[in-house]
Structure 1
Amino acid sequence: MTRVNDAQDSTPAPPETSIPQDMRSRVDQLHEKRRTVHDGPGEKATERQHAKGKLTARERIEALLDADSFVEVEGLRRHRATGFGLERNRPHTDGVITGWGKIDDRTVFVYAHDFRVFGGSLGESHAQKIHKIMDMAETAGAPLISLNDGAGARIQEGVTALAGYGGIFSRNVRASGVIPQISVMLGPCAGGAAYSPALTDFVFIVRDISQMFITGPEVVEAVTGEAVTHDELGGADVHSTRSGVAAFVHDDERECLEDVRYLVSLLPSNNQETPPVSDSGDPADRRNDSLTELVPAEPNRSYDMRAVLDEVADDGDYLEVHQHWANNVLCAFARIDGHPVGLIANQPQTLAGALDINASEKAARFVHTCDAFGIPLVTLVDVPGFLPGTDQEHQGIIRHGAKLLYAYCSASVPRVQVILRKAYGGAYIVMDSRSIGADVSFTWPSNEIAVMGADGAANIVFRKEIAAAEDPEQARADLTEQYREELMHPYYAAERGLVDDVIDPAETRHVLARTLEMLRRKKASLPHRRHGIPPM
């Protein structure tokens, strides 16, 4: 019996076909339109963009995504507005390029303002293209990245432009905590062009070419009489060091876009997926012998907490969020044993690591973000308390500090606390103590957990004894040491079940890796409610 595969193919060849001439003509027209759209508004406009040190929108997309992975959506769309000269200028794309592509072979959605077309300003069609790609990203469960270089609402289109921004804002909020939303500021962005990024999860900004403000310098001077430059009002350094709007700041567009790719590699595509695992080859049980020397035993001596992050993270590699703002607390994405984690740590080099208003807000936002996307939290504690003073009290340290407390208490992801040296007062509680829901708490043998430092505590507890002593200074020293030995020794909290173990600092990474592995399938039950009411 002859098998079909062995038989000669007797199927007659299909008749030769040819595309009708009118169809070929239409196909050629389509290719020509696409080529024209891809080439952009013209060489002079591109030269002006490059002269400002800026890439074009398509160059940015090419630098962001894997090679040849971008698929454009509605590239031939044009505005339909009439009046004020718009009817004579109807370029394709209408000033925004939208579509999807890949980053490390994972799907992402992107839109990029094209400043060469109407200054990247937003009109009705422009907004509808963004609405569509935002809806597609949410439906597909993939990150959304916006490359922002736009002058705000298109004045010639009036209220329809404003309504377009409203549609973007509502989608930003609807997708919040569902898919990662990343905004990259690559030009002057005013009004609604600044508000939408503020609603997203992460804001990147590039020095010299990028600004964000609600109203520009001209309006500020007209209303207040204050003369200010674009950068002084809303430049990269303003938003990365003072306002806290920008989480990442860069000097170069391509370097910035490379860091966007790195951030995406640490995040899940949506809140239903687990963060991507990447084996670096760094052993989970690698010892951290240098930590004993890096962290001084004396509670008042300073050191750089980043050196601890270097030791704990896979290959010492981590991505710090808000690196230049609220430096008394560090927030960073890293991997431990290949799995992404969120690291929160007090920084003794700034304000001795005390929590203040900005640090509380910075850490609270980071905790909420990690919790939304299923990223475990590791909290490294060395905190003397909340920063005292009338300035902090009058500006609402109680309310702002409560934001961090609320964030930790509401987080349902795996949570591990490590107390390196000291944890005093309410700040000990707020930094993810067992009492507010940390799954596991460890301390080093050098730790001190107490209401306050031994000196201050002894002055209060033994006030009368010190005053009555023949040598008050010697009495204060003796009673301070007594308080420290009885209530602040390293095993006091462990003996009462407030920490789970006192560990060798050299074993910190290994202990964290094993604990996080155990917690990987954690299931947390939360009460049914519409949503909580966090302190705002």
Structure 2
Amino acid sequence: MTSVTDHTAEPAAEHTIDIHTTAGKLAELHKRREESLHPVGEEAVEKVHAKGKLTARERILALLDEDSFVELDALARHRSKNFGLENNRPLGDGVITGYGTIDGRDVCIFSQDATVFGGSLGEVYGEKIVKVQELAIKTGRPLIGINDGAGARIQEGVVSLGLYSRIFRNNILASGVIPQISLIMGAAAGGHVYSPALTDFVVMVDQTSQMFITGPDVIKTVTGEDVTMEELGGAHTHMAKSGTLHYVASGEQDAFDWVRDLLSYLPPNNATDPPRYAEPHPPGAIEDNLTEEDLELDTLIPDSPNQPYDMHEVITRILDDDEFLEVQGGYAQNIVVGFGRIDGRPVGIVANQPTQFAGCLDINASEKAARFVRTCDCFNIPIIMLVDVPGFLPGTGQEYNGIIRRGAKLLYAYGEATVPKITVITRKAYGGAYCVMGSKDMGCDVNIAWPSAQIAVMGASGAVGFVYRKQLSEAAKEGKDVDALRLQLQQEYEDTLVNPYVAAERGYVDAVIPPSHTRGYIGTALRLLERKIAHLPPKKHGNIPL
């Protein structure tokens, strides 16, 4: 019998497998499994590593818990006989699919392999993704897609397009049922970018990830524009300009860490609650459990209503352990959205940012917030609105580009949401923006305001110019000090209407509280709203103003 270390054996004998015996059948299986683990040569793997990237399989193993990955369809291979493809049939066909766990929680996953046919999608490749999508939907598990491919496999023709369509439809069927997360780990082009766009969260890696429908060469030919791949579809482009991206990772491991963190806030599906950490009910009244960070909120708001402050300072002080997972942090920075926990319960935060456009809502901020509100509502995550908004951003650019229709998306998203909804007005809440940002009559369950809140149709300056226009005009004709009169009238308006107490008297806010009590008050409201029951009129679906 020849030892496995005996190099004197005949080469032919080493590779001869008698598939008519049980031992031979097992040996054949082992050989095929080894081939599936190494679909390309070591040289191709070294090229991937030289770019600072991991291989498709290494990415799965880096993301999932150790030894938890179970592969599906490892022995699948394409059936095409055109253009010489019949002579190149690697096992797996360029995509790895299966399931495993992240922090002990089940997930389904696929990872595209750019070293096999450039990661292009063919019939079997597409069928494998469809199969794992359907498994995720059927079992109620989150689906994670690691994308690194160059579009349709041209040699396989229309069948590739058909499989793209099936993948897109499954993305749509899974939407709102299971969390879908896309990681872009290379250059994704053509049909490869639509599936990620249909998922809940998209993550890219700085400098090594790109997404675009048509590449720089085609754009140069058609329009004459010169643009690099990074300028056209890099991570910062999709974060700051297109709004497609939810997180820019500094490297592949950072992307995996962010996804693991994200999943800790999400339920496996829409029929279950998000994961919760035990938090003992604090004894006594809210004021008996104030921390130093709580008390810092009492001095956070500047005396001048026009002086900005960073809303992140509020957010981190009301969340457990100061932990806030911001989403789309580089896009529409006049509004802040992300996940945190209060008393161990996951919550979604939507907050105006006074340091950007004074916190005004614009087209991009409205769409960003609307998307996030709907995501929270899909997955049973309570929504906390932190409000300091002087209105919608004025300007012809906003009007011409559809601020009416696109701003209404946030109204629609918030109005249809049935999860617990809590609003905290920290300072300004003016006009239509007051309505949009979680007002009582838009269906908010619990509204509270700080003493610094200014709730009115408009600010004092605009209101005085409108209400006292005739009086100011007459004063000017009589030679009186119009500026002094204007300041006097503004002060009277502010003292009368620009405060939280008029709204409190009429029930538009449920309580005016010291800022330091915010965390405790929200915690009690969340406990109350755990048993919230919402009834909506029966319908096929609404018609959001897209």
Instruction: Bin the TM-score by the shorter chain.
Output: over 0.9
Relative to the length of structure 2, the TM-score reads 0.93
Residue of structure 1 equivalent to 2:451: 445
In the alignment, residue 229 of structure 1 is paired with which amino acid?
A: T
Does the Cα contact within 8 Å between 1:297 and 1:421 map onto a contact in 2?
no
Shift of 1:294: 2.2
Secondary structure of 2:92's counterpart equals helix
Shift of 1:520: 1.0
Inter-partner Cα distance in structure 1 for 2:381 and 2:314: 20
Does the Cα contact within 8 Å between 1:282 and 1:314 map onto a contact in 2?
no
Q: Percent identity?
A: 54
Q: Does 1:420 align with 2:419?
A: no
Distance 1:225 1:201, change over 3 A: same
Unaligned 5+ runs, structure 2 = 1-18
Secondary structure of 2:340's counterpart equals strand
Distance 1:152 1:128, change over 3 A: same
Comparing 431-440 with 290-299, greater Cα deviation is found at: 290-299
In the alignment, residue 341 of structure 1 is paired with which amino acid?
A: V
Residue of structure 2 equivalent to 1:349: 355
Secondary structure of 1:108's counterpart equals strand
Correspondence 1:41-120 to 2 at 5 A? 41-120=40-119
Deviations 1:361-383 (A, max 9, x none): 00000000000111000000000
Inter-partner Cα distance in structure 2 for 1:73 and 1:408: 40
Secondary structure of 2:271's counterpart equals coil
Correspondence 1:264-343 to 2 at 5 A? 264-279=263-278, 285-287=289-291, 288-343=294-349
Shift of 1:209: 1.0
Residue of structure 2 equivalent to 1:455: 461
In the alignment, residue 405 of structure 1 is paired with which amino acid?
A: L
Comparing 467-476 with 259-268, greater Cα deviation is found at: 467-476
Residue of structure 2 equivalent to 1:202: 201
RMSD: 1.4
Secondary structure of 2:21's counterpart equals helix
Residue of structure 1 equivalent to 2:405: 399
Correspondence 1:184-223 to 2 at 5 A? 184-223=183-222
Q: Does 1:367 align with 2:373?
A: yes
Does the Cα contact within 8 Å between 2:44 and 2:115 map onto a contact in 1?
yes
Secondary structure of 1:514's counterpart equals helix
Does the Cα contact within 8 Å between 1:280 and 1:314 map onto a contact in 2?
no
Inter-partner Cα distance in structure 1 for 2:467 and 2:176: 47
- Give every structure 1 segment of 4 or more consecutive aligned residues whose post-TM-superposition deviation is greater than 3 Å: 279-287
Q: Does 1:503 align with 2:513?
A: yes
Comparing 479-488 with 109-118, greater Cα deviation is found at: 479-488
Inter-partner Cα distance in structure 1 for 2:69 and 2:290: 41
Does the Cα contact within 8 Å between 2:39 and 2:90 map onto a contact in 1?
no
In the alignment, residue 224 of structure 2 is paired with which amino acid?
A: G
Inter-partner Cα distance in structure 2 for 1:280 and 1:217: 53
Q: Does 1:138 align with 2:137?
A: yes
Inter-partner Cα distance in structure 1 for 2:90 and 2:290: 58
Does the Cα contact within 8 Å between 2:62 and 2:256 map onto a contact in 1?
yes
Inter-partner Cα distance in structure 2 for 1:491 and 1:314: 30
In the alignment, residue 346 of structure 2 is paired with which amino acid?
A: P
Does the Cα contact within 8 Å between 2:382 and 2:421 map onto a contact in 1?
yes
Shift of 1:279: 4.0
Comparing 156-165 with 283-292, greater Cα deviation is found at: 283-292
Secondary structure of 1:343's counterpart equals strand
Q: Does 1:159 align with 2:158?
A: yes
Distance 1:282 1:330, change over 3 A: farther
Does the Cα contact within 8 Å between 2:145 and 2:182 map onto a contact in 1?
yes
Q: Does 1:490 align with 2:489?
A: no
Unaligned 5+ runs, structure 1 = 1-19
Shift of 1:310: 0.9
Correspondence 1:232-243 to 2 at 5 A? 232-243=231-242
Secondary structure of 2:121's counterpart equals coil
Inter-partner Cα distance in structure 2 for 1:389 and 1:361: 18
Residue of structure 2 equivalent to 1:10: none
Residue of structure 2 equivalent to 1:8: none
Inter-partner Cα distance in structure 2 for 1:112 and 1:316: 34
Inter-partner Cα distance in structure 1 for 2:428 and 2:82: 68
Inter-partner Cα distance in structure 1 for 2:279 and 2:525: 19
Inter-partner Cα distance in structure 2 for 1:286 and 1:83: 72
Does the Cα contact within 8 Å between 1:121 and 1:150 map onto a contact in 2?
yes
Residue of structure 2 equivalent to 1:514: 524
Shift of 1:298: 2.2
Q: Does 1:382 align with 2:388?
A: yes
Inter-partner Cα distance in structure 2 for 1:491 and 1:188: 55
Inter-partner Cα distance in structure 1 for 2:303 and 2:420: 29
Secondary structure of 1:369's counterpart equals helix
Does the Cα contact within 8 Å between 2:140 and 2:178 map onto a contact in 1?
yes
In the alignment, residue 307 of structure 2 is paired with which amino acid?
A: R
In the alignment, residue 346 of structure 1 is paired with which amino acid?
A: N
Inter-partner Cα distance in structure 1 for 2:405 and 2:20: 73
Shift of 1:282: 11
Deviations 1:329-366 (A, max 9, x none): 00011111111000000000110100000000000000
Deviations 1:418-461 (A, max 9, x none): 00011011000000100111001000011110111011101111
Does the Cα contact within 8 Å between 2:216 and 2:228 map onto a contact in 1?
yes
In the alignment, residue 478 of structure 1 is paired with which amino acid?
A: Q
Inter-partner Cα distance in structure 2 for 1:528 and 1:21: 63
Comparing 38-47 with 79-88, greater Cα deviation is found at: 38-47
Inter-partner Cα distance in structure 1 for 2:52 and 2:312: 33
Inter-partner Cα distance in structure 2 for 1:519 and 1:104: 28
Inter-partner Cα distance in structure 1 for 2:93 and 2:307: 58
Inter-partner Cα distance in structure 2 for 1:481 and 1:365: 39
Secondary structure of 2:242's counterpart equals coil
Inter-partner Cα distance in structure 1 for 2:264 and 2:53: 25
Secondary structure of 2:341's counterpart equals strand
Deviations 1:30-74 (A, max 9, x none): 122212211331201101111121100111001110000000000
Does the Cα contact within 8 Å between 1:417 and 1:441 map onto a contact in 2?
yes
Secondary structure of 1:499's counterpart equals coil
Does the Cα contact within 8 Å between 1:177 and 1:369 map onto a contact in 2?
yes
Secondary structure of 2:176's counterpart equals coil
Secondary structure of 2:188's counterpart equals strand
Residue of structure 1 equivalent to 2:228: 229
Does the Cα contact within 8 Å between 1:346 and 1:382 map onto a contact in 2?
yes
Deviations 1:80-108 (A, max 9, x none): 00111101100000000000000111100
Inter-partner Cα distance in structure 2 for 1:41 and 1:421: 60
Does the Cα contact within 8 Å between 1:466 and 1:475 map onto a contact in 2?
yes
Does the Cα contact within 8 Å between 1:381 and 1:417 map onto a contact in 2?
yes
Residue of structure 1 equivalent to 2:534: 524
Shift of 1:286: 4.3
Shift of 1:321: 0.6
In the alignment, residue 132 of structure 1 is paired with which amino acid?
A: K
In the alignment, residue 175 of structure 1 is paired with which amino acid?
A: A
Shift of 1:303: 0.8
Secondary structure of 1:266's counterpart equals coil
Secondary structure of 1:330's counterpart equals strand
Shift of 1:313: 0.9
In the alignment, residue 58 of structure 2 is paired with which amino acid?
A: E
Shift of 1:280: 7.3
